[in-house]
Amino acid sequence: MALPRTLHYEDARCEIHRTVVGPYANNVFVLRCKRTGDAVLIDAANEHDQLLELCRGLNVRKVLETHGHFDHIQAVPAVREAGIDVGIATGDHFLIEGTYDFVIADDDVFEVGDLRLHTIATPGHTPGSMCFALDGAPVLFSGDTLFPGGPGNTSWEYCSFEQIIRSIEDRLFRTLDPRTIVMPGHGVDTTIGREMPSLDAWVARGW
C-alpha cells in the first residue's frame, strides 16, 4: 500500500516517493509502478527502520545505489538482511566493502513493473557514480553528480572535477530533454534546462 505522505511526483504510470534521512539530509527515492505495484529504492542511505517501513509499504524489490559514499549506504546491511538485493557500480566497490548483490553497469535497463530505468555512468564525484533516467517520463535521479547550482564535491583523491564536468556535459546536458526533472541525492529538485546555462561558470570557478 502506498504511503501518501512521501509522494513526491506521479504520472499515469508511476509514483516517486521521497524521504529525507540521516545527518547529511540524504534524499531517498522509491520509484513505483502503479499497475503492478513493483518498486525500487534509490540509495539506502540511513535510518534503516524508516527505510524498511517504506520498502514494506511500497513493495520494494531491489535497491540501486547512485554511488558508494558512506552517507548513501548506511542502511545497506539492514535492507540486505531483510532480503532486498542491493546493486552498485564496479567503480565504487572499494567504497562499499563487498556489501552488495549485483553490479550496475553503464546503459543497463532495470525493469520496475512496466517501467524502465536506464543507467547513465557519470564518474567524477566517485569513479562509479551512476544516474538513473526514467524511460517515458522527464525524471533523472542524479545522486551526487548534479545539484541545483553545480556538480557534486570532487575534493577526494579518487574524484575528478574535469571528469564530472565531462559526465554532466556529455551524458546529461547533451542527451536529456531540458525539461527533465533532476532529483538529486541532497536538497531540492532542479531541471536540466535550468542548470545547463551555468556550465561555463562552473568550469571557470573550478568546483
Q: Which residues pair with 10 in a beta bridge?
A: 15
Select from 3.30.10.20, 3.60.15.10, 3.40.50.300, 3.50.50.60 the CATH code of 4-205: 3.60.15.10
Name residues whose C-beta falls within 8 Å of residue 108's C-beta, 6 or more positions apart in sequence: 118, 119
pLDDT of residue 2: 45
pLDDT of residue 3: 53
As given in the structure block, the three cell numbers for residue 201 are: 561558470
pLDDT band of 97, cuts 50, 70, 90: confident
- The whole-number average pLDDT for the span 40-60 is 97
Domain ranges of the chain: 4-205
Q: What is the pLDDT of residue 4?
A: 53
pLDDT level of residue 92 (50, 70, 90 thresholds): very high
Q: What pLDDT digit, counting tens, does each position of 34-49 carry?
A: 999 999 999 999 999 9
Nearest residue to 193 via CA among 174, 170, 207, 165 = 174
Give, rounded to a whole angstrom, the gap between the first and last alpha carbons of the chain.
Answer: 42
Distance CA 140, CA 200 (A): 22
Q: What percent of the chain has pLDDT over 70?
A: 98
Q: Is the pLDDT of residue 158 over 90?
A: yes
